[in-house]
Structure 1
Amino acid sequence: MSGAGGGLELRAEVPALDEALALYDAVGWGAYTREPETLERALRGSGRVVTARRDGQLLGLARVVGDGAVIAYLQDVLVHPGAQGQGIGRRLVEEVFAPYEAVRQQVLLTDAEPGQRAFYEALGFVEAHDHDPGLRAFVRLH
């Protein structure tokens, strides 16, 4: 899965379930793959799903949920480990948000892995507690 961005195709599509499951497994997101039917419903219910492919192989995926008018929520950004570090994640985020440029609230919730903050800040995001004026973010996970 090496090689720079050459031959990379981004497109709005919901990938086949088996492809999605393989990608989510590859990045270690087992919470999504334990119930394949739920993942399939989530992908199909998204406002927009964009995939990254090279030679037909699914390398990445990003999806947005929300109303498309006042909030667009970046739910998932995944890039296969063998294709990370090639700018695919950045391109996915830019493409998935393209129809939502005028939407005031573009938000996401992510884990605190090293590198996450720098990646999202480079895309123009600010952590809620660093925003001026101050913001709070709340979550309830089950």
Structure 2
Amino acid sequence: MTIVFKETKQIDQKNLLVLYEDVEWYAYTKDINQLEQAISNSLYVLSAWDEECLIGLIRIIGDGLTIIYIQDILVLNSYQNHGIATKLMDRILDKFKAVRQKVLLTEEAPNVRHFYEKNGFDSCDKGTLVAFVKLT
């Protein structure tokens, strides 16, 4: 397996649909045109490919100078636990190392918590930080 990483926001809808539905992110795939536009409007997108198959993606929004927000990080189920998400995260953290605030919001799960803590993130339920979100 040879994984190729690409810095591109131009990813066809078919590949996006397969990836996002495989990880059951159906809220994104209800309107595939909106997802494609959201990716296009992102600050930075890094994708992982096995030949012509999109197997992973990390998407960043923000100003890229004082704050980045990791909006999406996902890997096809059949490719999980092979270090692909870690490689995507490492490349993002290196690219934006001078940015002081690196933020993400995710659902709670033991393996999710472990992944982000392993990558240097602190949960807002620890320490002096507080996080707020308003979902509609």
2:130 pairs, out of 123, 136, 139, with 136
Q: How far is the alpha carbon of 1:47 from its aligned partner?
A: 0.5
Equivalent position amino acid for 2:39 in 1 = L
Structure 2: segments with no counterpart, 5+ residues: none
Query: Are residues 1:80 and 2:76 paired?
Result: yes
Equivalent position amino acid for 1:135 in 2 = L
Instruction: Please report the TM-score for the alignment, with normalisation by the length of structure 2.
Output: 0.94
SS across alignment from 1:107 = strand
SS across alignment from 1:10 = strand
Query: Are residues 1:61 and 2:57 paired?
Result: yes
Offset from partner CA, 1:82-129 (integer Å, 9 cap, x none): 000000000111223332110000010000123011000110000012
Whole-Å separation in 2 of the counterparts to 1:104 and 1:129: 20
2:5 alignment partner in structure 1: 10
Moved over 4 A (4+): none
Whole-Å separation in 1 of the counterparts to 2:51 and 2:37: 27
Report the RMSD for the aligned CA atoms in angstroms: 1.1
Query: Are residues 1:41 and 2:34 paired?
Result: no
Instruction: Please report the TM-score for the alignment, with normalisation by the length of structure 1.
Output: 0.91
- Paired residues in the alignment total 135
Offset from partner CA, 1:37-91 (integer Å, 9 cap, x none): 1101110011110011112211100011001111010010010000000000001
Identity across the alignment (%): 38
